[in-house]
Amino acid sequence: MSNPTVELTLPVMQDMELAATKTAEVIAKRMDLDGEKTDEISMALIEACINAFEHSKSKDNIFIQYIIDPEKLIIKVGDKGIGFDAEVVAIPKIVEKLNSDNKRGWGLQLMKELMDTVEFQSSEDGTTVTMTKNR
Amino acid sequence: MSDFNIKVREEGDIIILETSGYLNNFGGDRVASICKQSISEGKRKLLINMENTKMVNSIGVSILIEVIEDLQGVNGTLGYYNVAPIIEKTFNIMGITNYSKIYTSEKAAIEALT
């Protein structure tokens, strides 16, 4: 039997990432995840959604799947944008951001620090980030 | 639009910004605008009470780096109190707590800055 899955489609609109976090909170509660893990999931999800909204340069909807595995919550955030190579994204450093024109670019780092695993699949047809949080 | 608000008050020579709502790009811009205005008026000690801000995003926080940068240029200080654990963790991951400080309470913050 397949794992229970919740699916959400979000338009590219200001603050729509908060709709994704509300859904995550309901699922985390259903899974008996503690508040700290729930907050970490929400923060990582916000960053994944923002990346999908902004970096995809796409006006299409983004797609989110929450897969409730017995051992973990798996979240997939997909867009139909132009794709990117996560390997070439530099790890941001605050000392370099100070006095730099570009102070942004923290999303991937936050996702990696807050979730147990983060993987990217990207092509010119879009990007899917898959994040997991263990129970 | 975000439901983000700021109240500003002064405690001696300290400017206190009390934020409420989601600190995103719009919220960050509003915080930065007030901080920059205060700095231009000669203020050097800024505190943000985040009691009613339970969630941030990295764009909003990255705008705070601009404020830190401006304060560095005038020997000023930025601090925060009533910070939710996930926001404190985010600040730590981004490293802004190396250049600004989280206090446990308004009293502790004011004592440290006075």
* Domain residue ranges in chain B: 5-108
Residue among B72, B84, B90 minimizing CB distance to A110: B90
- The per-residue pLDDT for A56 is 67
- Reduced to 3 states, what is the DSSP secondary structure of residue A57? coil
pLDDT in tens, A47-86: 999 999 987 666 789 999 999 999 999 999 999 988 888 8
Rg (CA), chain B: 13
Contacts of B86 in chain A (CB under 8 A): 36, 39-40, 42-43
Assigned token pair, A129: 């980030």
Domain parsing of chain A, residue ranges: 5-134
Q: Judge: B72–A46 Cβ closer than 8 Å, yes or no.
A: no
Residues of chain B found within 8 Å of residue A95, distances taken between Cβ atoms: 95
- B87 CA to chain A: closest CA distance, Å? 9
pLDDT, residue A58, reads: 63
Q: Around Cβ B85, how many Cβ atoms within 10 Å?
A: 11
Residue A16 contacts residue A50 (beta carbons within 8 Å)? no
CB contact under 8 A, B86 and A104: no
Class for the domain spanning B5-108: alpha beta
CATH dotted code for A5-134: 3.30.565.10
ipTM: 0.93
